[in-house]
């Protein structure tokens, strides 16, 4: 059970006053109910354009059990020169003797563009020390992210939000030099990667990995980076040497050098794809085997044709977690580590000349 707690707000305030309000509200709440204890796992700092503040807050409400302990949302309003703030507490737990109720804090700070380059001076007093801090800036504002890198251990990005995949990969590599990077575009491809890996896991299919000679990825038109990451994952795991991707007739195409033969790579925009990410994958081998995965109702539709032309098909149920689930997983991944992603970024940089 989630209950709303105390609220404080002020106009033309200061970071010190906001910090004092946070401390005061927590003290008052504990005095009223000794079962309340502050959650202390993760800080989340979000930088958004003020007009999209409500949408981002709604997305954060839907992340399920992966709510951060303290959220500091900085809403950027053009022309603003002063700081307004609202602090709210929520508690989660049952009113049963001996049970603790976790308290989470949310601080919404309205700022102006002039605050972005020195945003760390505003945020520093508002994050809980000694726990991890995750920074997410879905509307750009790279200068704000850069100012927070010395406070943060993790940066949340989404490479499909950058219209230029090469620029997106360069930025992710740049951020990775100072912090651990969690990429929503990478997380969206998890079901696809898992199903492809599982399809080649049976012993009778493993030799086909060395015979792969073509990969075609269909993606939403603005999600080219997701297709590049998928191809880069295959290259990183199978030891391919990727060449440069070239654009022609709206598609990206190129090749990679496998251990036995060249691999043709094609990334094709799919106008019918409504959500960010991949729409379909087809992998072919020199023996004539073809494996395809396509987004469908309830999951992924899989189809395989072996070297003799025998066909089998099945449905992978529940493969998509939706955008709320992806964001929740991104927050969870802030406390984990995926060593493969950095290797994938390096391969993507080679493909894109980043």
Question: pLDDT value at position 11?
Answer: 97
Place of tokens 């502050």: 38
Residue 164 lies in a domain: no
| Same domain assignment for residues 120 and 43 | yes
- Nearest-10 Cα torsion for 46, 47, 53, 54: -10
Q: How many structural domains compose the chain? A: 2
| Same domain assignment for residues 125 and 244 | no
| Same domain assignment for residues 206 and 108 | no
| Same domain assignment for residues 312 and 235 | yes
Residue 174 lies in a domain: no
| Same domain assignment for residues 130 and 76 | yes
> Distance between CA atoms of 352 and 246, rounded to whole angstroms?
8
Indicate the SS3 state at residue 36. strand
Residue 194 lies in a domain: yes
> Distance between CA atoms of 196 and 282, rounded to whole angstroms?
10
What percentage of the chain reaches a pLDDT higher than 70? 96
> Distance between CA atoms of 45 and 35, rounded to whole angstroms?
27
Residue 71 lies in a domain: yes
Host domain of residue 60: 2-152
- The residues of the chain scoring below 70 in pLDDT are 1-4, 93-98, 318-321
| Same domain assignment for residues 146 and 207 | no
Residue 158 lies in a domain: no
| Same domain assignment for residues 256 and 342 | yes
Residue 57 lies in a domain: yes
Residue 179 lies in a domain: no
Question: pLDDT value at position 49?
Answer: 97
What's the whole-model pTM score?
0.92
Residue 293 · residue 302 · CB < 8 Å: yes
CATH number of the domain that 273 lies in?
3.30.360
Question: pLDDT value at position 94?
Answer: 66
- Of the three residues 128, 152, 176, the one that is the final residue of a domain is 152
State how beta strands 132-136 and 246-248 pair. unpaired
228: left (phi over 0), alpha (psi -120 to 50) or beta: alpha
Nearest to 110 by CA among 48, 159, 163, 177: 48
Residue 44 lies in a domain: yes
Handedness of CA 274, 278, 284, 289 (dihedral sign): negative
Question: pLDDT value at position 318?
Answer: 62
């Amino acid at each position: 059970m989630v209950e709303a707690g105390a609220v404080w707000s002020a106009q033309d305030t200061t970071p010190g006053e906001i910090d004092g309000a946070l401390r005061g509200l927590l003290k008052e709440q504990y005095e009223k109910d000794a079962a309340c204890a502050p959650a202390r796992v993760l800080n989340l700092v979000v930088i958004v354009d003020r007009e999209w503040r409500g949408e981002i807050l709604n997305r954060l409400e839907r992340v399920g059990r992966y709510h951060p302990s303290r959220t500091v949302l900085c809403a950027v309003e053009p022309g603003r020169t002063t700081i307004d703030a609202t602090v709210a507490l929520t508690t989660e737990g049952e009113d049963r003797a001996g049970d603790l109720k976790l308290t989470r804090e949310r601080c919404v700070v309205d700022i102006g563009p002039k605050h972005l380059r020195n945003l760390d001076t505003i945020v520093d007093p508002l994050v809980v020390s000694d726990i991890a801090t995750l920074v997410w800036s879905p509307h750009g504002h790279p200068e704000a992210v850069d100012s927070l890198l010395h406070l943060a251990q993790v940066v949340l990005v989404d490479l499909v939000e950058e219209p230029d995949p090469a620029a997106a990969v360069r930025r992710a590599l740049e951020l990775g030099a100072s912090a651990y990077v969690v990429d929503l575009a990478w997380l969206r491809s998890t079901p696809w990667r898992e199903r492809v890996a599982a399809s080649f896991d049976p012993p009778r299919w493993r030799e086909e990995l060395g015979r792969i000679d073509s990969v075609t990825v269909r993606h939403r038109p603005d999600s080219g980076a997701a297709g590049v990451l998928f191809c880069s994952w295959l290259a990183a795991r199978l030891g391919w040497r990727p060449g440069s991707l070239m654009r022609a007739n709206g598609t990206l195409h190129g090749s990679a050098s496998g251990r036995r033969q060249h691999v043709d790579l094609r990334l094709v925009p799919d106008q019918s794809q409504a959500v960010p990410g991949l729409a379909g994958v087809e992998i072919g081998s020199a023996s004539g085997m073809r494996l395809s995965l396509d987004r469908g109702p309830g999951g992924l539709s899989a189809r395989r044709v072996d070297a003799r032309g025998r066909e089998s098909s099945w449905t992978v149920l529940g493969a998509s977690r939706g955008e709320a689930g992806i964001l929740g997983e991104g927050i969870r991944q802030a406390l984990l580590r995926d060593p493969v992603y950095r290797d994938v970024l390096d391969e993507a940089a080679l493909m894109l000349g980043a």
